[in-house]
Amino acid sequence: MSETKSRIDEIKENIQFGLDLAKEIDFSIDSYAPGSSYSRIPTTFSMGRAFGARLIPDAEFDFLVKREPVVHWTVWYVAQDIFDNGLRVYVKGRKEDDSFNDAVQRAFLELGAYDNLARSTAFERLYGTSVIVCSYRGSTNWEESIYEPNDELKDGYKLLQITPYPKSQVSVVDYDTDDSSLRYGKPLFYEIDRGDGVPFRVHWSKVIHDAPRLFDDPVWGMSVVQILYDDATAFRNMRWGLYQTIFRYGSGFPHIHLPWANRKQINALIASGEFDYINSRGFFVTGGKEENKETIDFKGVQGVTLNPDPYVKISFENFSLATRIPQDIFKGVSAGRITGSEFNERNYYKYISSEQNSKTPIVRELIDRLLATGQIEPSDGRMKIPSEPEYVVEWFSAFELNEVDQTRIALWESTTYKNYGTFMTIDEIRMLRKLKPLPDGVGAVVIELERITAKGTPQVRPGQTQPEGGEAQGNRAEER
């Protein structure tokens, strides 16, 4: 009976020891905060924002894009790749004339358009929506419209600057409630926080609203990070656990055996800080000897090193599914897999091409604003640009073929056009290459017919022979 009572007292002491230790831990301290004494399992970076959270605050998005490599790639690198090679514009029906494109590129250069469009794209990919605030010469009041009552641009206005802002710094303070208006339900006034604590109101006419992925809201778009959030959270937690395992248990679990000590004495030693010098998350202290000796036995993974590869694979498969970016693009090219990497690059840049198309409306709105202010006009007089031209935006592909593929394609093209010469005129072939006909009807001939006529002999088809002075004969093997 006394032995049972002693055991109960010992269990009570162990429980009290755990409670006393818990009091010393401040669980409100973020485990990622500098100087944090205790590490706890993270969600992403804050308590209560776990896997499967329904609402994701903007601070989470900000943290992820700066600290999580896959999210940074999906947001920032993709935005850069969209605008990396630029674009070309031409007036409809005048594709070969570059004068309009030259004028647009000059205006873009003055505004730093490509850099600002890439930043706006990064913002909207992260938060779902961004706005580009347009500053005009001739307007000193952000709350006034740039248009006259008849919807014409006010005289003397010039677009001086464009500045992108993320959704986290933008709010809509007034919507159009006139159900007869074409802008019904859309913002009338925005409030922009420049980070100086003094927000300012801006009329909608000075804002380019960038939200290409509208889903369940007519104004605010959906972030590309939203679909990645759970897997990014789980992946970060997994890596955190792996790193902690290596750091704390890389050399094994310390097992200290004190044959002279009972459990009460062991707890007293632990509480006194006797083992604090051990650099490990967990350690075991046992006591007793002979029939009272305490032992530890690990089951399940004894002698086996846990392999994280299957779990990493699950994460990258989900990242690839959510973003349409091949897994190897995220990881980088491995030596010896050149052919596969080229295939992955093609798939990636096909995705970039679709993202470029989604940015075309924003590019067109910027061009339309520059046309309205008269800031796009050719300087060399090659073409007069109408006030409202019909034009086409053509994106340059970010994918570049290697030299071997370029040479192979050139060979195929030359062989194809050579074969066309057996039944098409030179001018017809030149038309395929978008070249003008040769002068004086020189190109109105079929090269192969000219060659046959010059020799004065009938054409020899494959499988036939041509004896001297005679007509083409059938294949001798077939005759036999």
pLDDT, tens digit, 9 for 90 and up, residues 54-108: 778 888 888 889 988 889 999 999 999 999 989 999 988 888 888 899 999 999 9
Residue 35, pLDDT > 80, answer no
Q: Tokens representing 361? A: 């409306």
The verdict on 161 and 196 lying in the same domain is yes
Q: Contact at 8 Å (CB) between 393 and 357?
A: no
Query: Could you please report the per-residue DSSP string of 317-357?
Result: HHHHHHH---HHHHH-PPTT-HHHHHHHHHHHHHHHHHHHH
Enter the DSSP assignment of 37: S
The helix or strand, by DSSP H or E, that contains position 103, with its residue range, turns out to be helix 99-111
User: What CA–CA distance (Å, rounded) separates 372 from 393?
Assistant: 18
Query: Could you please report the per-residue DSSP string of 40-73?
Result: ---SSSSTT--TT-S---HHHHHHHHHH-HHHHI
The verdict on 81 and 152 lying in the same domain is yes
The verdict on 384 and 411 lying in the same domain is no
Strands 200-203 and 187-192, by their bridges, are antiparallel
Residue 200 lies in a domain: yes
Residue 34 lies in a domain: no
Residue 204, pLDDT > 90, answer yes
Residue 55 lies in a domain: no
The verdict on 167 and 206 lying in the same domain is yes
Q: Tokens representing 50? A: 């776990």
Residue 262's nearest CA partner among 4, 21, 6 is 6
List Cβ neighbours of 424 (8 Å cut-off, separation of 6 or more): 446
User: What CA–CA distance (Å, rounded) separates 141 from 135?
Assistant: 10
Among the three residues 395, 423, 449, which one is the final residue of a domain in this structure? 395
pLDDT reported for residue 457:
55
Q: Contact at 8 Å (CB) between 274 and 284?
A: no
Residue 406 burial class via C-beta count within 10 angstroms: exposed 0-12, middle 13-18, buried 19 and up: exposed
Residue 108 burial class via C-beta count within 10 angstroms: exposed 0-12, middle 13-18, buried 19 and up: buried
User: What CA–CA distance (Å, rounded) separates 348 from 397?
Assistant: 11
- The strand pairing partners of 165, in sequence order, are 131
Residue 289 lies in a domain: no
Residue 291, pLDDT > 90, answer no
The verdict on 364 and 438 lying in the same domain is no
Q: Flag whether the pTM goes above 0.75.
A: no
Question: Helical H runs in 400-446?
Answer: 403-420, 426-432
Q: Tokens representing 129? A: 């929506």
The verdict on 364 and 461 lying in the same domain is no
pLDDT reported for residue 283:
64
* Residues spanned by the domain of 105: 70-225+359-395
Among the three residues 369, 395, 421, which one is the final residue of a domain in this structure? 395
Highest mean pLDDT among 55-59, 206-210, 230-234, 337-341: 206-210
Amino acid at 373: T
At 116, the pLDDT band (50, 70, 90 cuts) reads very high
pLDDT reported for residue 421:
83
Q: How many CB atoms lie within 10 A of CB 29?
A: 14
Place of tokens 């490509």: 114
The verdict on 457 and 365 lying in the same domain is no
Place of tokens 């605010």: 220
Q: Tokens representing 112? A: 């730093």
Residue 1, pLDDT > 90, answer no
Residue 306 burial class via C-beta count within 10 angstroms: exposed 0-12, middle 13-18, buried 19 and up: exposed
The helix or strand, by DSSP H or E, that contains position 242, with its residue range, turns out to be helix 229-249
Q: Tokens representing 350? A: 């096909």
Residue 454 lies in a domain: yes
Q: How many CB atoms lie within 10 A of CB 6?
A: 12
pLDDT reported for residue 317:
83
Place of tokens 């040769």: 438
pLDDT reported for residue 378:
64
Strands 255-258 and 207-210, by their bridges, are unpaired
Average pLDDT, the chain: 78
The verdict on 378 and 455 lying in the same domain is no
Q: How many domains does the chain have?
A: 2
The verdict on 430 and 390 lying in the same domain is no
Residue 204 lies in a domain: yes
Residue 9, pLDDT > 80, answer no
Q: Which long-range contacts (CB under 8 A, 24 or more apart) does 35-41 make?
A: 39/244, 39/281, 41/237, 41/240, 41/241
User: What CA–CA distance (Å, rounded) separates 167 from 211?
Assistant: 10
The verdict on 429 and 389 lying in the same domain is no
Among the three residues 374, 395, 416, which one is the final residue of a domain in this structure? 395
At 128, the pLDDT band (50, 70, 90 cuts) reads very high
Enter the DSSP assignment of 171: E
pLDDT reported for residue 278:
67
Residue 121's nearest CA partner among 288, 441, 330, 363 is 363
Q: Contact at 8 Å (CB) between 77 and 398?
A: no
The verdict on 385 and 440 lying in the same domain is no
Residue 291 lies in a domain: no
Residue 42 lies in a domain: no
Residue 426's nearest CA partner among 447, 440, 410 is 447
Q: Contact at 8 Å (CB) between 121 and 210?
A: yes
Residue 122's nearest CA partner among 51, 224, 42, 27 is 224
The verdict on 118 and 160 lying in the same domain is yes
